Amino acid sequence: MDYLVQYSSLTRSLPPLSLLVLLSVTTTITATATIPAETTTTATFNVTALTFAESYSTLFSEFNIQRSPDDKTVRLLLNRFSGSGIISSDYFNYGFFSASIKMPSEHTAGIVVAFYTSNVDTFERNHDELDIEFLGNTNGKPWRFQTNMYGNGSVSRGREERYRMWFDPSKDSHRYSILWNPKHIIFYVDNVPIREVIHNPFMRGDYPSKPMSIYATIWDASSWATNGGREKVNYQFEPFVTEFTDLVLEGCIVDPNEQILSTNCTDSIEALIAKDYSSISSQGYKSMKWFREKYMYYSYCYDNVRYPVPPPECVIVPSEREMFKTTGRLREKFRYTGSHRHHRGRSSRRRSNRSVASG
């Protein structure tokens, strides 16, 4: 297993320098946002949680991985010696991947927690990837997160969206999920669908289609994660602990080394498509609209500087279009209450901490 490849893949999944300004905007939430009724009444997914042994194994730094006695909860630690990471024991040809995650609390500047799917270790040059990445922040400021997608090595076409949250993710566990089937991809926070990518034939290979593994990691991204790299991880507060539980991996398990898959996934993909989490109800679409109008602060679909013609899967929603400038960033009147402090310094290069990866 080549961790450096994993990390360089994740690095490429991060947005270009032009987005660094966004990262450095510090926002004070007035915390008056409430979850609409339709969100809270949505039933929970019909899924079965697995133990760690049934679902994952160590990716790196076993000494920083703690499993609960019942093996249903795993803690990933970051300390001055290393971050840590786990990887699903199987490859999935489409599936639903989910975990309830609690972020480290208080001093989280410079930290990144990632929950993502990838196959970069088997398809180095034309890999697929689906990301949820959480960016730590200065004490008392809100966490932010982003989702992204690559298909068949389309790393030059970032498809990032960035958001705030309607809760403090370090207070309690919340479920984060990635649904991936041949028809669409849905990212969920709890039961709220926050992003849907509908498979469009014009996307060609940009739609992930090869078997992927699932990863969870915590690592030191001091060089870029918080205020353009000006705020580093402060190891006075180590270890930084993120807790994963309710581990769910559902889908067609395959051997990634076979050129022609001997496992026939037709039936299990059909079963996947029939599952509750594979379709969004009209209430779900309402919740998604609520979330995106209130909490999304960057979308590649509205970034005409990067994409004069939006990529083919982009559905231009008038209410979203109105929110964003042609850079995909929020217009002033849609900004949240609070102070905005912009990054003044020189831009720092986005890269992960290789010494962590090789440790």
Residues that bind ligand NAG (CB under 6 A): 46, 80-82, 126, 152-153, 204-205, 220, 222-223, 264, 266-267, 353, 355-356
User: Minimum distance from CB of 47 to ligand NAG (Å)?
Assistant: 8
Q: Are 74 and 65 spatial neighbours (Cβ–Cβ below 8 Å)? A: yes
| Smallest separation, CB 198 to ligand NAG (Å) | 17
CB closer to ligand NAG, 57 vs 355: 355
Between 32 and 46, name the residue whose CB sits nearer to ligand NAG: 46
239 prior amide bond cis, ω within 30: yes
Least spacing, CB of residue 265 vs ligand NAG, in Å:
8
Catalytic residue among 106, 129, 161, 231, which? 129
Amino acid identity of 78?
A: L
Q: Which is nearer to ligand NAG, 92 or 324 (CB)?
A: 92
Give the active site residue among 38, 54, 62, 133: 133
Shortest distance (Å) from residue 209 CB to ligand NAG:
7
Distances from the Cα of 110 to the Cαs of 78, 107, 223, 318, 355, in angstroms? 11, 9, 7, 35, 15
CB count in 10 Å sphere of residue 191: 19
Q: Could you tell me the smallest distance in angstroms from the CB atom of residue 355 to ligand NAG? A: 5
Q: Compare residues 124 and 322 and give the one whose CB is closer to ligand NAG.
A: 124
Judged by beta carbon, residue 151 or residue 158, the one nearer ligand NAG is 151
Residue nearest to ligand NAG (CB): 205
**Bridge-based pairing state of the strands 111-118 and 129-135:** antiparallel
* CA–CA distances in Å: residue 102 to residues 148, 155, 244, 343: 21, 29, 7, 28
Q: Is 160 a catalytic residue?
A: no
* Distance linking the first and last C-alpha atoms of the chain: 13
Cα–Cα nearest to 118, from 220, 256, 247: 256
The full length of the chain comes to: 359
Respond yes or no: is residue 129 known to be catalytic. Answer: yes
CB-based contacts of 316, cutoff 8 Å, min separation 6 = 301, 302, 310
325 Cβ partners below 8 Å, 6+ apart?
Answer: 302, 331
Q: Which residues are catalytic?
A: 129, 133
